[in-house]
Amino acid sequence: MTNKTRDRDVRAAVFRKVLAEHVADPNVLVVEELGLQHGLCRVDIAVVNGFLHGYELKSDADTLERLPAQVEAYSKAMDRATLVVGEHHLGSAESILPPWWGIKVASVGKRGAVSIETHRAVGANPSVSAFHVAHLLWRPEVTKILEERGVEKRRLRGNRRELYEIAAALVPLSELRQLVRESLKTRTTWRHP
């Protein structure tokens, strides 16, 4: 029996072997625990460059119990998504994921190092929801976007959900995705560890 992967080892390997180029690039934002739908779900690692790419990590020590709900949340807001999964869960995970999700398999070698191999290449999300993309904005960010588009002040006093609905209806999806990526990259404070 091969050694089982553990979350912290898989996470470290992803940063070292998959995301090293992104982490070193000052024009790319790499964020851990990015909240979706105001924290109902968290992206283990999000990469923000020309795309919003979410990485979900499931080591052999994890369960796949929450994966269907996580896939649903990622699939509403992410441009791309990749599951990094321990060998033990590969078959079960594959049956849960939409075909556009990428799959990388994490395994432990003879000397204890975690290797990561691409099992399935990532594709583009065919069904991004403008409302859920807008959800990634903080209130001041969505308010500024709407003000710049001439939305009346009284409408800007609505709750966040109303503001996201207005943004989703008013701003073309491709532009909204770009504005969200820019907002994420220019934040100076983050609410994650």
The pLDDT score that the predictor gives to residue 174 is: 94
Confidence of residue 1 (pLDDT cuts 50, 70, 90): very low
Instruction: Tell me how far apart the alpha carbons of residues 36 and 54 are, in angstroms, rounded to a whole number.
Output: 11
How would you class 129 by CB atoms within 10 Å of its CB: exposed for 0-12, middle for 13-18, buried for 19 or more? middle
Contact 36, 74 (CB under 8 A): yes
Q: Coil, helix or strand for 6?
A: coil
User: Does 110 have pLDDT greater than 90?
Assistant: no
Q: What CATH fold (topology level) applies to the domain 7-120?
A: Trna Endonuclease; Chain: A, domain 1 (3.40.1350)
Task: Say if residue 120's pLDDT is above 80.
Answer: yes
Confidence check: pLDDT of 39 > 90: no
Poorest-confidence range of 70-74, 77-81, 106-110? Answer: 106-110
117, β-bridge pairs: 105
SS3 124: coil
Name the strand (E) or helix (H) holding 168. Answer: helix 160-170
Helix (H, G, I), strand (E, B) or coil at 148: helix
